[in-house]
Each structure stands twice: as C-alpha cells, then as structure tokens.
A and B are shown apart, each in its own frame.
Chain A
Amino acid sequence: MPTTSTPRRTPRRTPCSIAPPDLLARVARQGTPEQRDAALAALAASASMRTQRSLLSRMRLELGAETANLFAGLEGASPTRRQTVYDNESQGRSGLPGTRKRGEDEPPVDDPSVNSAYDGTAATYDLLQQVFGRDSLDGAGMELISSVHYGVNFDNAFWNGAQMVYGDGSGQLFVKGALVQALDVVGHELFHGVTSFTADLTYSKQSGALNEHFSDVFGSLVKQRHLDQTVDEADWLIGAGTLVPSMGKALRSMSEPGTAYDGDRQPADMAHYVDLPDDNDPRNDNGGVHTNSGIPNRAFYLVATALGGHAWETAGAIWYRTVTERLGSLAQFSDAAAQTMDVASSFGDAERAAVEKAWREVGVLT
C-alpha cells in the first residue's frame, strides 16, 4: 500500500510546495474551496510520483462530483472514451470480433443489439471515468470492443480478456436479445475486466465469489447511475427481465439473495455458505462463485442503504478503492471486510461503522 507520508523528492514552486502530501490532503478535505483548490494543485504538480497519483485519485473519490472538472484540469488531457461494436454473425470464437458496425461517436445503426452494446459500454466507461477517475478498464484508456450475435442462440455474455461477447439467448434460458439490453449485465461483464487489471481475484471459491461480487456491485451502479436512482429507488436486482419469465425475475438479488429465480441458492449470510468443490463440473460453478457472492452482495446493499443517497458516491467509492488498491488475487471474504472497513475510515466514522455493521450482519465478522 502506498502511504500518505512519503516526502516529495522534487518540490515544485506551488503555493503549498513545502507541505507534505498528507497535510495537503487534509487541507483539500477540510479547507475552504480556495484552500482546497490550491492544495489539489500542489498535489497535482508532483503527481509524477506514484504516491501522489494514488493520493490524487483517492481525493477525487472523497471529494466527489463537485471537483470533477478541477481534477480533469489537474490531471492533464481529458480521457477519451473509445469503443467499437462488431457483429459476430453467429460465428462464435473463431469469428471474433466480426463485422464492424459502430464506432465511438457514430450514429445508431438499425440493429438494436449493436446500439445496446454501444450504450451499455458508454454508461460503464462513464461511471468509471466520471465517478472514479478511471480511464477505461485498464486505467490507461484501452479501447472497448464488443461483439454481438455471438454464436447460435448462445445463452451467455462475458468479457473474454480482450473484448466483450454477447449471445442472443436461446429463449429457453434467456429471453432472446435481452442480455445486451441489460445495463447491469454489461457493467458486470466489463467490470470483470477492471478486476483482472487490479485485484485479479482468482475465479474459484471465495476469491471467485468476490470477483463476481464486485462485478455485481459495479454492474448495479452502472444501472442505478443511468437511472439516477437513490438507494431506496434501486431494485438491487442483477439482470432483471433477462431470464424467460417462467424461470424468474432476475439472475440475482443483492438485497434478498436467494429470491431472484426459482431454484436460486444464493445465501444471505455465512451460516448458509454453500461449500462446493472447484472442479470442472458445470454443476459446481467454479466452487459456487455465483452462489456465495450473495453474502458480500448483501453486505454492500446494507452499507449503501445505511449511508443513503446515491450508492456510487460513498459505498461505491469504498468498494472501488478496495478492489483496485487493496485486495490480492486470493482474497477471502474476511479480507474484503477488513479492507472495506479500513478504506471506509478515511470517509468518516459513520461510514466505517456502517461497513462493520454490514459485515457483522452477514456473518463475515463475528
């Protein structure tokens, strides 16, 4: 972890150039608007050092939307969203990406799947960039590639490590065309890319369930922000309306795990943790990664609703910093609890208390 007390080696001529970064951060948090702007400028002036860059990124999260423009100016050229959507034309893996259909800033085309992929990708990029200051999945502006109409009646969508693929669905499991239309599904899948560039959580058992959890959190936040929903207005469902109606209402419920569809086995607390082996049996789902993610999902829901307002502003910022800065690839639920609590401390006592209470309620802290 970078500390906040590393002295700068090359002081610049700024109003606060002799101040250490932790003092500048405190001034930015607590000072008048003028003092805040001067302190941020001083931090930015020496931001070539990794420590200061990390601190600036953290200050952006803590200070929120009011200072977004200021940060854009301090950190140099504005990040630019870059994306292209292709049609796989049912060719599957060997035909990726497919035929180019729509690039960034190009007008809608006559294929609703292409336009949905474009809009969902844009909404996800914008959440990452505008709220968390992250320029694309890798933090370095990578182009976002999507292929729709992947395979034949393919009942899935995923980030394959280089691009998004979206199946049309068979009408047996998923409603045809529904996956790419679900903003939280798009956000969920793209966030797997963010995780792969940061915590890189191993996709097995608890670390895999955390990988799933962070994707559900940020997928839900993409949707909530697009709809401008407060925590009370959000439905806290993942993939609502994507399953055929006879199966159920959604893939997962973050507020009430285990209630999304008929046969949903997600536990809401550790007392009901489902211990599945991680073998290559499709029934065991990499050791229950989509099952036990219900436990941290509910913890996030409890934190967000305890803090109120827009979930992406504080709860989302705590979770974002945890997955991008704090967790290693083999992190367990207890690590996520400890790190979210520690991160929450920098937001305030109430925030830390809310996070601790949530992890206790789901039984990760005892």
Chain B
Amino acid sequence: MKVSVVRGGGLAGITTRTELSTSALAEADARTLAEKVRAAALRESRPEAGGPAGPDRTLYEVVIDDSGSVVRSRFTDDDLPESVRRLVEWVDARPERSHTRER
C-alpha cells in the first residue's frame, strides 16, 4: 500500500508531494500505517466538490493506492478530519517517506 499526500494552496501556492509505502517500512510500522489508513476512512472525492476555499487554506489530496485500488480524497484546512490529520502527520514524521515539489 502506498500513501501519497499532495499539498497546495496555502500562503505560498507551492505544491508538494509526500509519499510513503508499506514496503519501505518494518512490519510493525506497516501495520500501524494500515491501521491509520483504516481509521481515516477515506472516500473518493467528487472532482467538483466544495465551493470557494477560504484564503490561504492548505489544499490536501490524500491518495491511497492499495494493490491498484485507488481512493483519492481532497480536503482543506477547514474540513480536514482529525483522523486524516493524524495519518498525514504520521507519514510526515517517518524518515522513510519521500518529499518532493510538484511542478
């Protein structure tokens, strides 16, 4: 399973991508990641969902690729669920994760 977090908007308007695969993790950590993904209960977002965001909110796209089954969910700082925030913060804190700029 791979977790990708794309973040854009914010006060900078700069887009970044953070990725972490269970294959890069020790077994116990991989289990923890899978548990956090389950707890986040992510659902596919409709592409047109949501009205205009508030100024400078971070815009999130969280993608779970579980053996080719892909769920893509989008949030802003105003509606990011606590369970998703905990997942994102856990991924951010892992030394195995990659962090890159998007275009």
Q: Are B9 and A93 in contact (CB under 8 A)?
A: no
Q: Which residues A168-222 have CB closer than 8 A to chain B?
A: 170, 172-174, 179, 185, 188-189, 192, 195-196, 202-204, 208, 211-212, 215
Q: Are A286 and B89 in contact (CB under 8 A)?
A: no
Q: In the bound complex, how far is the Cα of B54 from the Cα of A146, in angstroms?
A: 17
Indicate if B92 sits at the interface (CB-CB under 8 A): yes
| Interchain nearest-CB distance for A241 vs B (Å) | 13
Q: At the interface, is chain B mostly helix, strand, loop or mixed?
A: loop
Q: Are A285 and B92 in contact (CB under 8 A)?
A: no
A202 / chain B contacts, CB cutoff of 8 Å: 52
A170 / chain B contacts, CB cutoff of 8 Å: 92
Indicate if B2 sits at the interface (CB-CB under 8 A): no
Q: Chain B, 84-103, contact with A by CB distance < 8 Å: what is the 0/1 string?
A: 01000100110000010111
Q: Are A286 and B52 in contact (CB under 8 A)?
A: yes
Q: Are A160 and B11 in contact (CB under 8 A)?
A: no
| Interchain nearest-CB distance for A155 vs B (Å) | 7
Q: Chain A, 154-174, contact with B by CB distance < 8 Å: what is the 0/1 string?
A: 011111110000000010111
B7 / chain A contacts, CB cutoff of 8 Å: 155, 282
Indicate if A240 sits at the interface (CB-CB under 8 A): no
Size category of the binding interface on chain B: 35 or more
Indicate if B66 sits at the interface (CB-CB under 8 A): no
A290 / chain B contacts, CB cutoff of 8 Å: 9, 11-13
Q: Are A155 and B8 in contact (CB under 8 A)?
A: no
Q: At the interface, is chain A mostly helix, strand, loop or mixed?
A: mixed
Instruction: Determine which of A156, A208, A284 lies in contact with B11 in the assembled complex, contact meaning CB atoms within 8 Å.
Output: A156
Indicate if A34 sits at the interface (CB-CB under 8 A): no
Given A172-B99, A281-B74, A285-B9, the answer on whether A203 and B54 have CB atoms closer than 8 Å is yes
A94 / chain B contacts, CB cutoff of 8 Å: 82
| Interchain nearest-CB distance for A113 vs B (Å) | 16
Size category of the binding interface on chain A: 35 or more
Q: In the bound complex, how far is the Cα of B12 from the Cα of A157, in angstroms?
A: 10
B60 / chain A contacts, CB cutoff of 8 Å: 282
Q: Chain A, 42-62, contact with B by CB distance < 8 Å: what is the 0/1 string?
A: 000000000000000000000
| Interchain nearest-CB distance for A302 vs B (Å) | 22
Q: Chain A, 261-303, contact with B by CB distance < 8 Å: what is the 0/1 string?
A: 1010000000000000011111111100111000000000000
Instruction: Determine which of A153, A251, A279, A291 lies in contact with B48 in the assembled complex, contact meaning CB atoms within 8 Å.
Output: A279
Instruction: Determine which of B10, B61, B74 lies in contact with A156 in the assembled complex, contact meaning CB atoms within 8 Å.
Output: B10
Q: Chain B, 20-42, contact with A by CB distance < 8 Å: what is the 0/1 string?
A: 00000000000000000000000
| Interchain nearest-CB distance for B9 vs A (Å) | 5
Indicate if A103 sits at the interface (CB-CB under 8 A): no
Q: Can you identify 5 A-B contacts, CB atoms within 8 angstroms?
A: A155-B16, A161-B54, A247-B14, A279-B47, A282-B74
